[in-house]
Chain A
Amino acid sequence: GAVVSQHPSRVICKSGTSVKIECRSLDFQATTMFWYRQFPKQSLMLMATSNEGSKATYEQGVEKDKFLINHASLTLSTLTVTSAHPEDSSFYICSTTIRDNRSPLHFGNGTRLTVT
């Protein structure tokens, strides 16, 4: 069954608005969640690592003030795309591991963001 629940699955917003994406771990506590972005025909790029109760760790080139990550509980991490622009249109996917760093990632269903 599903390990991670992500929503919304699809969102269309106007340029300049903000969009929040939620990612919930199901039936277990996820102290760490990973947020990926995927542009068409490209691979997944790690944006940031979300840690429960502390600040997220962002990858080089990812603006932390634009992509706000909150991991306030052991089962919920959120990514807010602030002041979205058309170039932010992409497929955003959250993921987590069930056990430890050696374990595989389990992905949410992803959020297709289109900024008009």
Chain B
Amino acid sequence: QKEVEQNSGPLSVPEGAIASLNCTYSDRGSQSFFWYRQYSGKSPELIMSIYSNGDKEDGRFTAQLNKASQYVSLLIRDSQPSDSATYLCAVNMLSSASKIIFGSGTRLSIRP
């Protein structure tokens, strides 16, 4: 099992709809979880951090964490064409000396 798993996509969502991105992780003791957005040819930029079970909202973005299920998700409301990018899930893995491990990313495409 990969340490951090994401569907590679592409995930195609119509403009204005909700995009839902999912991520699972293997280390049950992980405490810190992050979502990054990466445009083609650019470095990742941080969208959300989440540390506790439940939902965390920031503008059009909502991160959801369920530690019992080892699952973290990102919802993007009112999707815009500018949201088209690869979304990387990252987890601070205690089992890996607290290194931040990245999933392979989900490519999201918002169609006008």
B interface, over-half SS? strand
Select B49's contact among A34, A44, A91, A104, beta carbons within 8 Å. A104
Cα A44 to Cα B45 in complex, Å, equals: 13
Q: In the complex, are the beta carbons of A43 and B41 less than 8 A apart?
A: no
Select B103's contact among A43, A104, A105, beta carbons within 8 Å. A43
Chain A residues engaging chain B, CB cutoff 8 angstroms: 34, 42-44, 46, 49, 91, 93, 101-110, 112
- Number of B interface residues at 8 Å Cβ cutoff, please give it: 22
Select B44's contact among A44, A49, A101, A112, beta carbons within 8 Å. A44
Chain B residues engaging chain A, CB cutoff 8 angstroms: 31-32, 34, 41-46, 49, 51, 88, 90, 92, 98-105
Which chain A residues lie closer than 8 Å to B49 at the CB level? 103-104
